[in-house]
Amino acid sequence: MREQILQILSTEGRAPAEDIAERLGLAPGQVAEAIADMERDGTILGYRALVDWSAADIERVFAFILVEGTPEHGVGFDRLAQHIARFDEVHSLHLTSGSADLTVVVEGTDFRDIARFVAEKLAPSPGVSGTATSFVLKTYKLDGKLLGEPAAVRRLAVSP
Amino acid sequence: MSIQQRTGSRLSRLAAHLRPSGIREFFDLVVGMDEVISLGVGEPDFPTPWRICDAVIQSLREGATSYTPNRGMVELRIEIARYLEDRYGVSYDPHEQILVTVGVSEAVDLAMRCLLDPGDEVLVPDPCYVSYAPCVELAYGVPVTVRTRLEDQFRLMPAPMAAACTQRTRALLFGNPSNPTGAVMRREHLAELARVAIEHDLLVVADEIYAELTYDGHHVCLAALPGMYERTLLLNGFSKADAMTGWRIGYACGPAEIIEAMTKMHAYTTMCVPIMAQIAAIEALRNGEADRARMIGEYDQRRRIIVNGLNRIGLECFEPMGAFYAFPSIAATGLTSAQFAKALLLDQRVAVVPGIAFGAAGEGHVRCSYASSIADLRAALARMETFLGRLRAGEVEVPQ
């Protein structure tokens, strides 16, 4: 049940509990309670509008920063990651396999803003041994949504 | 005097007398109108999953544009056999017992032309898919309708089926799950049909195109029942479950003798199904399960919305357990299904298909497809509720 509810909410954040309940053939109270539980226990972290900033003509720049760090005894990269994560500029942060240790998504108002953050805050953080920055130039798909979606498929209005 | 002069027409009697489907007529009405929410669509609103399109695009880059064997690519027939075995427990030899056809549509047509001598009778349910009776007629057969009833959830019942059998009855042609009713026949229901089929030595052509779209339970192939394997043609395809309606590809499985005969005909009339469609089908069978499950999960949610909604606004609707159609009763309005559909369209711009288009026993019902977004379904239900209110208040102009 939780998985089905999350499946819906993760793509339709504003779907009311009664609507979800009807679609899944569950009792509305049951669904409302499950949602409340998941909000309380941190399974559901929040609800956000998924925004195409370029369509809104509002300047927002994103960058992927691959961070090489020095793992620490007993905690690995946890301490470093938690330190970096607390910066407001950090949109997302993941421990990843491959050439980097941490992958950081940074959000800023323009390229210089991000470059300044990397140089002055991120790279000098104790435990960071190197960074590699890639700026997002254009977004084609965001969180499962194609941007600039082509017109819906035109079916015949009536068919047997 | 030429034949043309004697009969007064260039057309054969068969061609001249073939009636266009009731759907066609309604389609022409809808097409000219703007802002219509159509619940009259018999195909998925999802495009074919991209991985399938991608596989075909790649095959085109590799130059796959030629004829295939008449029966269909052997890789495809092997995948079909494997799928039917794994999913439904029925085994067919991919070399002798499977024919890839241009949709289930072509399979029905070929089956009728292979099974019937002129004047032979074929049982078809009433209501049923619009093509069944015409395909029987095109093969110079005689369709004999077997009425199904709301009381039986529109399942085909053994007693009326047996009563409709005569010395000339060759076959039963039916769909499970059903278009237009959404009815599903489970193992116990099919077993009763099987008894009648065996007793009257009928061949059964089972159109199971909606098999995957079975809610609350697993589809049972008629061919899996004892005594039925040797007298069943199992028809299925990719249009509904894999959102591949436009690709025009399906298949027929059955006794080698019948498949061989159908293959011979198919070889002359069609040569083979387009190679692109076959490549798409292979990809669907190999890697399409997750996409199918996702789409069917969506249909199930929409099913609940439309059935609850129709009942809530006063159009009594039994719960359909398969396909993507609801078949509510409009008897309470006092209108015929054609009047209801036309009035609803003109007054509120919602299209549903009049039940009469599917047979006399469809009268008093309309077919509402739920292969549309939840937003569209809710909007359509709201408009239908408005319509019913206006109808009760005498504010709707009822067409003739």
Predicted local distance difference test score (pLDDT) of residue B24 = 79
> Do residue A157 and residue B43 have CB atoms under 8 angstroms apart?
no
| B38 contact residues in A (CB cutoff 8 A) | 157-158
| B41 contact residues in A (CB cutoff 8 A) | 155-159
Predicted local distance difference test score (pLDDT) of residue B28 = 86
Could you tell me the two tokens for B142?
A: 């005689």
Beta bridge partners of B101: B250
Q: Which residue has the tokens 């369209």?
A: B345
Q: How far does Cα A98 stand from its chain's mean position? A: 20
Nearest by CB: B41 against A24, A25, A159: A159
- The answer to whether B220 and B186 have CB atoms below 8 angstroms apart is yes
Split at pLDDT 50, 70, 90, the class of B324 is: very high
Predicted local distance difference test score (pLDDT) of residue B330 = 97
Question: Does the beta carbon of B27 lie under 8 angstroms from any beta carbon of chain A?
Answer: yes
Split at pLDDT 50, 70, 90, the class of B376 is: very high
Q: How far does Cα A135 stand from its chain's mean position? A: 16
Nearest by CB: A25 against B30, B129, B304: B304
> Do residue B353 and residue A155 have CB atoms under 8 angstroms apart?
no
The percent of residues above 90 in pLDDT, for chain B, comes to 92
Average pLDDT over residues B22-32: 83
Distance CA B116, CA A15 (A): 54
Q: How far does the CA of residue A22 sit from the closest CA of chain B (Å)?
A: 6
| A159 contact residues in B (CB cutoff 8 A) | 23, 27, 40-43
Specify the 3-state DSSP secondary structure of B354. strand
- The answer to whether A109 and A61 have CB atoms below 8 angstroms apart is yes
- Average pLDDT of chain A is 93
Split at pLDDT 50, 70, 90, the class of B21 is: confident
Predicted local distance difference test score (pLDDT) of residue B156 = 98
Tell me the H-state helices in chain A: 2-9, 17-24, 28-40, 53-56, 78-85, 111-117
Q: Look at residue A153 and tell me whether its pLDDT is greater than 80.
A: no
Q: Look at residue A150 and tell me whether its pLDDT is greater than 80.
A: no
Nearest by CB: A23 against B26, B31, B304: B304
Q: Look at residue B1 and tell me whether its pLDDT is greater than 90.
A: no
Q: How far does the CA of residue B137 sit from the closest CA of chain A (Å)?
A: 18
> Do residue A160 and residue B179 have CB atoms under 8 angstroms apart?
yes
Size of the A and B interface in Cβ pairs below 8 Å? 50
Decide which of B394 and B32 is more confident: B394
Q: How far does the CA of residue B337 sit from the closest CA of chain A (Å)?
A: 16
Question: Does the beta carbon of B131 lie under 8 angstroms from any beta carbon of chain A?
Answer: yes
Nearest by CB: B43 against A22, A25, A155: A155
- The answer to whether B250 and B101 have CB atoms below 8 angstroms apart is yes
> Do residue B27 and residue A153 have CB atoms under 8 angstroms apart?
no
> Do residue A158 and residue B353 have CB atoms under 8 angstroms apart?
yes
> Do residue B353 and residue A23 have CB atoms under 8 angstroms apart?
no
Identity of the residue numbered A12: E
> Do residue A158 and residue B27 have CB atoms under 8 angstroms apart?
yes
> Do residue B308 and residue A25 have CB atoms under 8 angstroms apart?
no
pTM of the predicted structure, to 2 decimals? 0.93
Q: How far does the CA of residue A42 sit from the closest CA of chain B (Å)?
A: 26
Could you report the predicted ipTM of this complex, rounded to two decimals?
A: 0.86
Q: Which residue has the tokens 């298909």?
A: B353
> Do residue B30 and residue A155 have CB atoms under 8 angstroms apart?
no
Q: Look at residue A151 and tell me whether its pLDDT is greater than 80.
A: no
DSSP string, B64-76: --S---TT--HHH
What's the sign of the alpha-carbon dihedral A120, A126, A128, A129? positive
Q: Look at residue A94 and tell me whether its pLDDT is greater than 80.
A: yes
CB atoms within 10 A of CB A28: 14
Distances from the Cα of A105 to the Cαs of A42, A134, A147, B221, B383, in angstroms?
A: 21, 10, 19, 52, 46
Pairing of strands A61-69, B366-369: unpaired
Predicted local distance difference test score (pLDDT) of residue B163 = 98
Predicted local distance difference test score (pLDDT) of residue B7 = 77
| A25 contact residues in B (CB cutoff 8 A) | 304
> Do residue B301 and residue A24 have CB atoms under 8 angstroms apart?
yes
| B23 contact residues in A (CB cutoff 8 A) | 158-160
Nearest to B351 by CA among B338, B333, B363: B338
pLDDT in tens, B333-373: 999 999 999 999 999 999 999 999 999 999 999 999 999 99
Pairing of strands A61-69, A102-108: antiparallel
pLDDT in tens, A104-136: 999 999 999 999 999 999 999 999 999 999 999
Distance CA B212, CA B216 (A): 11
Q: Look at residue A4 and tell me whether its pLDDT is greater than 90.
A: yes
pLDDT in tens, A46-57: 999 999 998 888
Q: Look at residue B149 and tell me whether its pLDDT is greater than 80.
A: yes
